[in-house]
Amino acid sequence: MTQRRSFIRAAGAAFLGAAAVSRTGAASLPESASESSAATLPPPLPPNGRPFQPLVTLNGWSLPWRMKNGVKEFHLVAEPVLREIAPGMTARLWGYNGSSPGPTIEAVEGDRIRIFVTNRLPEPTTVHWHGVLLPSGMDGVAGLTQPPIEVGKTYMYEFVLQRPGTHMYHPHADEMVQMAMGMMGLFIIHPRDVRQHRVDRDFGFLLNAYDIEPGSATPRVSTMLDFNLWTWNSRAFPGIDPLVARTGDRVRIRVGNLTMTNHPIHMHGPHFEVTGTDGGWVPRSARWPEVTTDIAVGQMRALEFNAIAGDWALHCHKSHHTMNAMGHGLPNMMGVDTQGVAEKISQLIPGYMAMGDKGMHDMAQMAMPLPENTLPMMTGEGPFGPVGMGGMFSVVKVRDNQKSGDYRDPGPYQHPAGTLANEYTAELPEPARQNPPAPAASGAAQVRKPGEGASHGHHH
């Protein structure tokens, strides 16, 4: 993966000349880096300031800064952006510096940071630094702690980072609209002592959701629960990159939830522990092993595990959240003879497709007529055929020979001999069944005692 950052110096300078910048740095704002690619761009090691191990923002990037008299200066630009949700669909969102979510802000415990926020949206905004300990007046709540940042204006936030942790930023002005439009980003405070909370790979993403009518590109912002695109960092599977690690690596995944509902995040393979929240690090003695952790609205969780070789699914366990737009509102046609019916309806309604009479698996590979700019409900392709999922789904890919710092997709896992499920073609034993179909003549309940009646099945 290559770093591809376009600096919009000329346009930025012209615009900012007219902007109101209060005090320090009025002469020259830090340039506002911009990135519109949805590729995962692992950031370089910090060029200056205190050292830290950078976060890998899934399908995202980290905001560059400049040092000015010992202060780390960042420049966020709130603006409309185009975001590819997955190949075949691009949404008109609002974000920061060319992308939604905005770039990850990374700094170090003890740093004094100054963040300039320029508003290029069509309405006022603010930025709230979720979970960060700071003076009340830097908290970014419109009306409560500051006036809204008017269109075209720049505000300056400045505070000292008191504690390492996992945080995010988002507007606290017209929240319902601005967050439904994609305005959010990760804010990671690394520990001053690089040996603290040390891991080999550190990933992060935000859970978000959009309601974009098939065939359109702009989210409906008044939707409360019935979203149709369930995304990580404004990407839906198969648009979400894999999380790549080497066998034995200590891996951290930081997840924040800015949707309108909770998401039980489930990982196959290695067990994990929740080691941090947006309130801080969990003491070792208070951690317990998990394979699923529920992330409520407005919460963040840091998960950690020791990587085991394989291709391990990582997904939200609400099954509708691993479906894209076309998966919702379908009638259940299981067991119904639909022969000819779908054909007749599709003559009346072009593009109509009913759920199959044998479930929906077939729809994963069906070339279904779709409106423009619309994702099929499940589209991923794995080494053994279509993956029947979309939305909040990705794969933790762990390989023995993945080099340190290499996040490129290593391709499908090569399963060692004898470790892969395969078709069985020899004679099958009778499967055991509870509630045999012929009831006892007496009508009395038949109780099977241990040791008897085990003649069905269990022939190993």
Q: Quick one: CA dihedral 434, 436, 437, 440, positive or negative?
A: negative
Residue carrying structure tokens 């639909």: 338
Compute the least distance from the CB of residue 182 to Cu ion, in Å.
17
Question: From start to end of 270-309, where are the E strands?
Answer: 272-277, 280-281, 289-290, 292-295, 300-306
**284-314 CB burial, b ≥16 within 10 A, e <16:** eeeeeebeebebeeebbbbbbbebebbbbbb
Full DSSP string of 12-45: HHHHHHTS---STT-S-PPP-EE----S--PPPP
Compute the least distance from the CB of residue 262 to Cu ion, in Å.
7
Compute the least distance from the CB of residue 112 to Cu ion, in Å.
38
Closer residue to Cu ion in complex, CB, 76/229: 229
Q: Quick one: CA dihedral 325, 328, 329, 333, positive or negative?
A: positive
Compute the least distance from the CB of residue 260 to Cu ion, in Å.
11
Closer residue to Cu ion in complex, CB, 220/318: 318
Find all residues with CB under 8 Å of 360, minimum gap 6, and list them. 330, 388
Compute the least distance from the CB of residue 396 to Cu ion, in Å.
17
**Which residues would be at the binding site for Cu ion (CB under 5 A)?**
263, 316, 318, 321
Closer residue to Cu ion in complex, CB, 159/230: 230
Closer residue to Cu ion in complex, CB, 370/377: 377
Compute the least distance from the CB of residue 230 to Cu ion, in Å.
6
Closer residue to Cu ion in complex, CB, 276/391: 391
What the block records as the tokens of 21 is 């910048």
Closer residue to Cu ion in complex, CB, 135/264: 264
Q: 3-state class of 115 per DSSP?
A: strand
Compute the least distance from the CB of residue 441 to Cu ion, in Å.
51
Find all residues with CB under 8 Å of 285, minimum gap 6, and list them. none
What the block records as the tokens of 432 is 């055991």
Query: How many CB atoms sit inside 10 A of residue 456's CB?
Result: 12
C-alpha pair distances (Å), 270 with each of 157, 248, 273, 319: 41, 11, 10, 21
Burial of 130 (0-12, 13-18, 19+ CB in 10 A): buried
Q: Which of 157, 104, 152, 158 is nearest to 125 (CA)?
A: 152
Compute the least distance from the CB of residue 375 to Cu ion, in Å.
17
Closer residue to Cu ion in complex, CB, 99/322: 322
Closer residue to Cu ion in complex, CB, 290/357: 290
